[in-house]
Structure 1
């Protein structure tokens, strides 16, 4: 079974390359095109970062770059360059209302029941066959 990997095309790369950070101090950055392709691939799949294919490089690099650029707001610019839209459609509100319930609120007592039925305990006739 072959993997369906995603790679940025030359035209896509030309559109997003001007938005990438330049002149940063520190260690030399690994290939941006490979890492961004890996990020887009993982976002399309919706899989765990740990499951990122080895062809994109270490999953920690893929995740760290996504996380760092997310905090900087860089992905809005990149997605707009790729798709023509930032992906923000409307304002969303999330309701976090919750109700506390006691642990026995489900109604049943836990564990197996060894009690006899009321009819059987009263000496009544059994309603089922053995």
Structure 2
């Protein structure tokens, strides 16, 4: 079984929402899950995997400015600020800290309900306020 973990984080890189999709599902399709539960923010930083016109329109309708670099295959290039794009490293650091937990990194818990709870437990312990 293969899954992808998606996260919505705050400015400090602390996870607000964690959710998973099947491994073969692309990131832009996996982004449909949190569309209704997006926090009230000004801008959203995302990986180029989340580059989809429908996702950008959804964010625009909610008043969120999308800071998502365009894919290489995109016919019309998307303007983005590379300097601000580097702030995504906080999210990568958050995933790295979660993978410090051996149970999460090696995926000992194969059952679908248990693995997200292990991730939630690790995130709670790591980012306890």
- TM above 0.5: no
Comparing both structures, which one devotes a greater share of its residues to strand? 2
Larger Rg: 1
TM-score by length of 1: 0.25
